[in-house]
Structure 1
Amino acid sequence: MCEITIQVSCPYCHSMKVVKNGVKVTGKQNFLCRACGKQFQHTYERTGCRPQVKQLVLGMLVRNSGIRDIEQVTGVHRQTVLKWLNQKAESLQVSPRLKAYTTVQLDEAWTFVKESKKRKRWLFYAYAPETGEVLAWSWGNRSQHTVRRLYKQLEHLKIACFCTDDWPAFTKVLPPERHLVGKAYTKNIEGVNLCLRTRNRRIVRKTACFSKKERNHYNAMKLIFYYRNHHTL
């Protein structure tokens, strides 16, 4: 008679410090990781319950995969994918690493919600080339009101210079003594725009990919910004 020993590792932190922690109502053995404190099962009946699958879904969300594409590849229902998207994005906090920056570049990107491109949602955001991070952003129309909301998020920082293109809304809001205007000063953020478009098809002008709800739209971009700043979710 031979005895087979199965060694269980934590699917979250991969630690081997795992102990039994009761039984689920389904009769499945429950485990507890003493390293990270999370509970899990060795096997799951539903695909969406597996921690590895959820991490895969989140990774695909920041790698230009559509909701239905993710559903097709992973087997997780699209409504669950959207639920995870919103839960994760709303649990994250994007905040500047420093208190002072030499240069901050501002730019805008055109997006839309639902299938009608008349429902425009302009994205204005601030980028710091010296740290490579997105500092803040605001949604709205292409007016000074949206720029002002963005600027208010930056007022607590010491920023030596703001760089933008010649869109009039920037000139009306930013302090003139610290404002440089011209494409020559926004090369870095233009490169970021390209990167964002390759990571999220919602901000590509000629696209068939869009969000049906504003909450999904805004949280999808928040997830991209957080991932760009921290390289992890």
Structure 2
Amino acid sequence: MCSISIQIKCPHCHNSKVVKNGKKTTGRQNFLCKNCGKQFQAEYLYQGADPSMKAQLQSSLLHGSGIRDCYKIFGISPKTTLRFILEQGEKIKITPRQKKYKKVQIDELYSFVNQKGKKVWVFYVYAPETKEILAVTMGKRTKKQLRYLMTQLKCLDIEIEFYCTDAFKSFKEVLPYYQHIIGKSFTKDIEGINTLIRSKIARFHRRTTKFSKKLKYQWHLFKIFVFYFNELPSYI
């Protein structure tokens, strides 16, 4: 006779220091990772609870798939996908890599929420020297929204020498004139990031038919994109 042994590894940290930790109500064995302290099962009845499935789900959302696309591909409910977006987005905090930046670029792009005619604008700050997004807001295309973006920058406690933008009127009214550089030639980098965002997130495609029903889902998904753009650029 021969025996077959299977080594169980934690799907969260991939460590092999795993012990049995009781059974679920379904009768399936539950495991506990001694390294990261998280519980898991070797096999899940519902695919949406599998950590490896969540990693694939996240990758799909950041590579042009919509909520319904994920439902059809992975066989999970739309509610599971939306809950995943909220949980991941709430954990994310943008942290700058430096304390001082010579030039940053500010621009805006739009998407839709609920219906084609309801535009929602994203204002964000991009630092080309470190290739990171420093701050982002989402809402109406107004001076108030732009001021909120500048407040976010101040809260980061960083020093910025110059702000580069296009000729949008609100930029001239809100940004300090002695630090403000205007011209499309100075915003080429952030224009390229706009194109990247539109290609990666389904809700930002120019001719999309995929809309978020609520602003909070679009906001948290964009935060997830910013995190992986900053921390793991090769992932994007």
Give the alignment's TM-score, normalised by structure 1: 0.94
Matches of 1:55 and 1:201, distance apart in 2: 18
Q: CA RMSD in A?
A: 1.5
Paired residue secondary structure (1:221): helix
Aligned pairs, number: 232
Matches of 1:139 and 1:14, distance apart in 2: 36
> Which amino acid in structure 2 is aligned with residue 219 of structure 1?
H
Paired residue secondary structure (2:68): helix
Matches of 1:5 and 1:201, distance apart in 2: 43
Matches of 1:168 and 1:191, distance apart in 2: 22
Per-residue deviation, residues 147-177 of structure 1 (Å, max 9, x unmatched): 1111111123200110000001001011111
Matches of 1:210 and 1:87, distance apart in 2: 20
Q: Indicate the residue corresponding to 1:109 in structure 2.
A: 109
Q: Indicate the residue corresponding to 1:98 in structure 2.
A: 98
Q: Indicate the residue corresponding to 2:205 in structure 1.
A: 204
Matches of 2:187 and 2:116, distance apart in 1: 30
Q: Indicate the residue corresponding to 1:77 in structure 2.
A: 77
Does 2:13 match 1:4? no
Give the deviation of 1:2 after TM superposition: 3.0
Taking only the aligned residue pairs, the percentage that are identical comes to 43
Q: Indicate the residue corresponding to 1:225 in structure 2.
A: 226
Q: Is the 8 A contact 2:66 2:203 kept in 1?
A: no
Give the alignment's TM-score, normalised by structure 2: 0.93
Q: Indicate the residue corresponding to 1:178 in structure 2.
A: 179
Structure 1 portions without partners, runs of 5+: none
The 5-angstrom pairing of residues 46-61 of structure 1 reads 46-61=46-61
Matches of 1:69 and 1:225, distance apart in 2: 22
Matches of 2:176 and 2:195, distance apart in 1: 28
Matches of 1:97 and 1:182, distance apart in 2: 26
Q: Indicate the residue corresponding to 1:29 in structure 2.
A: 29
Stretch moving more, 13-22 or 76-85: 13-22
Per-residue deviation, residues 173-227 of structure 1 (Å, max 9, x unmatched): 1111111000010010001001001111222332211111111121121111111
> Which amino acid in structure 2 is aligned with residue 112 of structure 1?
F
Matches of 2:226 and 2:166, distance apart in 1: 21
